[in-house]
Structure 1
Amino acid sequence: MFRALILLFAFTAATRAVEKKPNFIFVIADDHRWDAMGAVQKEHGEKARYPWFETPSMDRLAAEGVRFRNAFITHSICSPGRAGFLTGQYTHANGVMDNGTPFPIDSVTHATLLRDAGYQTAYFGKWHMGNQRERPGFQHAASFVDQGTYQDCPVLVNGVRTPTKGWIDDVSTDFAIDWIKQNHAKPFSVVLGFKSPHNKRGGPGLPERIRNLYEGKTTRRTPNCDLAAVYHPPLTEADKGKERGLSANAVHLDYLRHIKGIDENLGRLLDALDDLKLAEDTVVVYSSDNGYYLGERGLGDKRALYEEGLRIPFIVRYPRLFPKGKLVDEMVINQDLAPTFLDLAGLPAHPGMHGTSFKDLALGNKPANWRTSFLTYYRKELGDTPTCHGIRTDNAKLIFYPKNPEWTEVYDLKNDPYELTRLPADGPLATSLKAELDKQMKAVGFKP
């Protein structure tokens, strides 16, 4: 009888654990490229670009959760990337195709669906959808308009302009932690948006504690720093080795200082969850709205469809369910976040979502039909990157420029990860990639 009671208690506890709704925290940086993380630099060994760079909080999150080593943004620019995370849709479907478009207030997002299911929803920090003041789907917000400022940035607290003091990424984290402390009795879903490491970096844009960090350190060049983008004039021999785009070491140091600052704030957030005994039941995701170029092909932004612009960090921790220290190499995209949050909350994905829950991947169970390619595109706005679209598979890429088809780029990523050698646009690899591109465009209803 006693043994039966013990078994019944154990079964009841396990059932409650499965039924318990997790909390969600999505931490999104601005312009954080995939390899600017201590764990990745250690992994790269002799090929590491900044081998001395450390991010203990991101590394902690990875050690306690799952790191996706092939994570991508499908539209590599700030607002479209953010809209894709929220809606689970490609941007031609959700309507945010550039940085000046406000997020449609009637959009269906992970926040609206979780809110309707009884979750408390809150947004903190950078939103960046034009000059929009609303935060659709979020019941509470402490967020700034457009780019804001790094220091003493006014914040809209539920629509009321409120002065703040200090570095905005510290301030945004303070707002998030304070809200969680007051509202953790019920399940919650929080987004924390960092401004870093977006431009106007360094100097007064940094808190004093890290302004001079890494003095004397140097970063390494990559082989594609001496190439030009296909839409730029080719480099001459005299040009090679010169600083172009954002290839200067001083620029890299400021960029990494900003990431160090947000790593510290991620650590504060994780510590707060520990103190509140919430860590076990809270899904924490860290990622970025796009990748970033640090001088590769003479570039210094995102926008183009080369690897550095598309690849993003992506770490997920959920101690109650996911394993520790797991590495996943299957491709995930930003549209996968929303359906995953809903899946973990026991809710169906909205039928209009293009992404797929990565829950099974994180558990080590690769679905038989998991993607082997994805559509990516960019519509020209600022700068000289032309409108383009393409297909990225697990080992190759094709980029097509509608106004200049002669620029078509084909790369064998398995043997040429830096995209150094353009392959023939009418060769066998190009032919198979064009067929896959047509298939993926049709699947999501994209018409260039």
Structure 2
Amino acid sequence: MNRKIYSYLLAGLLSGVTFSTLGQNLDSVKRKRPNIVFIFSDDHAYQAISAYGSTLAQTPNIDRIAKEGVILKNQLVTNSICGPSRATLLTGKYSHKNGFKTNENPNFDLNQTIFTRELQKAGYNTAWVGKWHLGTLPTEALNYFNILPGQGHYYNPDFIHNNGDTVRHEGYVTDIITSFAKDFIEQQDADKPFFLVVGHKATHREWMPDIQDLGAFDNIDFPIPATFYDDYEDREAAKDQDMTIDKTMVLRQDLKVEQVFNPNKEQAQELKQQLIEKWFGGKELTASQSKALEAHVKGRYTPEQEKALSDYYGKISKEFAEKKLDGKELVEWKYQRYLKDYLSTAKSLDRNIGELLDYLDESGLAENTVVIYASDQGFYLGEHGWFDKRFIYEESLKTPFVLRYPGVVKPGSDLQDLILNIDWAPTVLDLAGATIPRDIQGNSFLPLLVNNQDSVQWRDAGYYHYYEFPQPHHVHPHFGIRTDRYKLVRFYGELNTWELFDLQKDPNELSNVIDHPDYRAVLESLRDRLQELIQTYEDKEAERVLRAASEI
């Protein structure tokens, strides 16, 4: 029988499933096990979401999830980079425990606790469509997948199906992923719950908008962030990075100035060499990196797509050439073009989220489906003069997270507690009434959503550890903690420095007060707490760093 008919017949029926880890409030709610849809974007900054107070763009469909559920205001990641964040989602563990510390890691170890397997044991049908970005195909960890190879492409992308086929699909990647998600849901049996990750490529570099969104923000002159011309005083790692809009952002590849959308062989080779220099510091690539880069620069547009893109960016290129910009005018022009393309790409993302929400409504599934929207980490939209992520600073440490669960999570809720992305897996398992394995390092925050928050004991600090160095972007490895007011950071390797920030007095993290006498007691307390968390999470590398410097 059609799933839609089943859904209407079963709507409102109770199943007797209880949620063992929760208090009386939810324990008394016995309901059919919910379906769970986890929409997971890439590099989508909370500063670009109107539910988080952004004035840059409106995101009505992400906002809708927040209004009908809960918005997390202090959702932190444990390693601000794409692949490792996905590994943390799947394992509920820190990078040093799940083995996926950097994007350079070619393969993710699936022979460890993966929370989707626990969902399968609990009777869930599990699936992932879209961006996966973990190398190893998730053959045994999911019942179904249809995923992008590597980073994938915005236009006419290839997808790897769980039957082993790799197929190119014509169209725009965000639309295609949404279509795959709806197809999967439509094929499910009504008497078996499902868990689905909708992994979007947007808003990853190079920010290629859908044709219908080209120029959507061209009439807007975005305000320059207050920290755009940061001089990085007293912050050596920030001074030494390579992720500025000024020097790192590529006019041709990132901003499409004089971009050729279907290059010939010579043009493609020239572009590849430029990107090897810019993205990999001129070092020799591995075979897989070289193959991926060749596929990246190769033309793949239909004649209609090529014409639309060439017409739009050709006009931009002509105007840019006529301006003959340099210095401050050039970097601010690059910033404006960056935001226009980034937000235009995000426009399609939000539109497709709305399409999926409408589909759940129309199919009768919305009332018993948990919908989550999150990004893999935060992102810089010109703050400190940057794009990209990686640092423990607020813009990349914090990521958006909104959740809707009709009848259980109060609409319009606002959660201020420090939530980490190691908490996502156990929370989903808790939602499903499944067993949470002992080796998962996170905690379910479902009790915070359904009980009086003051009655739930929760963490006082979040721990963070970033590894990938020197390329790309030359961000030095570091670890640290963030409390409700303070942030303590230890950079190591080529740099051996400490940073301390008072987020209440210095929310933009411009003043490193590590040597300020007024903060000596705070510093000692934070160092002690940092060491406790390093031991709690069994981070041996961080422990060695501190011991080698006689800081333990």
Name the counterpart of 1:198: 204
Question: RMSD value over aligned CA atoms?
Answer: 2.4
Give the distance between the partners of 2:333 and 2:522, measured in 1 at CA. Answer: 32
1:79 equivalenced with 2:83 (yes/no)? yes
Q: Distance in 2 between matches of 1:444 and 1:396?
A: 20
* 1:223 positional shift: 2.6
- In 2, Cα distance between equivalents of 1:187 and 1:232: 46
Which residue is 1:219 aligned to? 222
**C-alpha offsets along residues 212-259 of structure 1, whole Å, 9 cap, x if unaligned?**
101121222333222235325499xxx996776997111011111111
What code does the residue aligned with 2:505 have?
N
Question: Equivalent residues in 2 for 1:89-238 (5 A)?
Answer: 89-101=93-105, 102-130=107-135, 132-158=136-162, 159-185=164-190, 186-201=192-207, 205-227=208-230, 228=232, 230-233=236-239
Distance 1:323 1:241 in 2: 48
Corresponding position of 2:33:
21
> Hey, what's the Cα distance between the residues in 2 that align with 1:438 and 1:244?
41
Compute the displacement of 1:12 (Å). 9.0
Amino acid aligned to 2:117: T
How far apart, CA to CA, are the structure 1 residues paired with 2:49 and 2:374?
A: 11
DSSP-derived class of the 1:18 partner: coil
Provide the rounded CA distance (Å) in 2 between the counterparts of 1:12 and 1:317: 19
Q: Which residue does the alignment assign to 2:459?
A: 371
Contact 2:39 2:197 survives alignment (8 Å): yes
Q: 1:299 deviation in Å?
A: 2.3
Aligned-pair CA distance for 1:172 = 0.8
Distance (whole Å) between structure 2 residues aligned to residue 251 and residue 12 of structure 1: 49
Q: In the TM superposition, what is the alpha-carbon distance from 1:445 to its structure 2 partner?
A: 0.2
Q: What is the letter of the counterpart of residue 190 of structure 1?
A: L
2:468 aligned partner: 380
Paired position in structure 2 for 1:436: 529
**2:348, 2:437 → 1: CA distance?**
36
Q: Does structure 2 retain, via aligned residues, the 8 Å contact 1:293–1:301?
A: yes
Q: C-alpha separation between the residues in 2 aligned to 1:198 and 1:246?
A: 20
Which of 419, 423, 434 does residue 332 from structure 1 map onto? 419
Provide the secondary structure at the position in 1 that maps to 2:126: strand
Partner of residue 514, structure 2:
424
Which residue identity is paired with 1:200?
E
* Deviation of the 1:75 alpha carbon: 0.2
Structure with the greater alpha carbon radius of gyration:
2
| Aligned partners of 1:80 and 1:97 also within 8 Å | yes
Structure 1 residue 40: Cα displacement: 1.7
Matching residue of 1:293:
380
| Structure 1: runs of 5+ lacking an equivalent | 1-10, 42-47
Q: 2:467 is aligned with what amino acid? A: R
Q: Deviations over 1:162-181 (max 9, x none)?
A: 12011111101100101101
> 1:352-385, CA deviations, whole angstroms, 9 ceiling, x for partnerless residues?
1111111111124225420110110110332210
Instruction: Tell me if the contact between 2:13 and 2:31 (Cα under 8 Å) persists in the aligned partners.
Output: no
The answer as to 2:344 corresponding to 1:257 is yes
Contact 1:379–1:387, Cα closer than 8 Å, also in 2: yes
Q: Runs in 1 of length 4+ with deviation above 4 angstroms?
A: 11-17, 232-235, 239-247
Mean Cα displacement is larger for which, 98-107 or 181-190?
Answer: 98-107
TM-score by length of 1: 0.89
Structure 1 counterpart of 2:529, one-letter code: E
Which AA in structure 2 matches 1:430?
L
Task: Report the alpha carbon displacement of residue 183 of structure 1 after superposing the two structures with TM.
Answer: 0.6
Equivalenced residues, count: 423
Matched AA of 1:380: E
Distance in 1 separating the partners of 2:481 and 2:497: 15
3-state SS of the aligned residue for 1:248? helix
* Cα separation, 2, equivalents of 1:337 and 1:166: 32
Pick which of 416-425 and 265-274 moved more: 416-425
Q: 8 Å contact 1:245–1:294 — kept in the other structure?
A: no
Instruction: Return the letter of the residue paired with 1:37.
Output: I
Cα 1:60–1:232 change in 2 (3 A) is closer
Give the whole-Å Cα distance in 1 for the aligned partners of 2:426 and 2:444: 5
Q: Which deviates further from its counterpart, 154-163 or 217-226?
A: 217-226
1:226–1:129 Cα change, 3 Å: same
| Structure 1 Cα separation of the partners of residues 452 and 193 of structure 2 | 27
| Percent of residue pairs identical | 34
Letter in 2 for 1:40: Y
Per the TM alignment, residue 55 of structure 1 is displaced from its structure 2 partner at its CA by: 0.6
**1:386·1:401 contact (CA, 8 Å) conserved in 2?**
yes
Query: What secondary structure does 2:236 align onto?
Result: coil
> Using the alignment, how far apart are the partners of 2:237 and 2:432 within structure 1?
45
What is the alpha-carbon distance in structure 1 between the residues aligned to residue 355 and residue 102 of structure 2? 33
Matching residue of 1:5: none
Q: What is the TM-score normalised by the length of structure 2?
A: 0.73
Q: Structure 1 residue 319 and structure 2 residue 384: aligned?
A: no
1:7 match = none
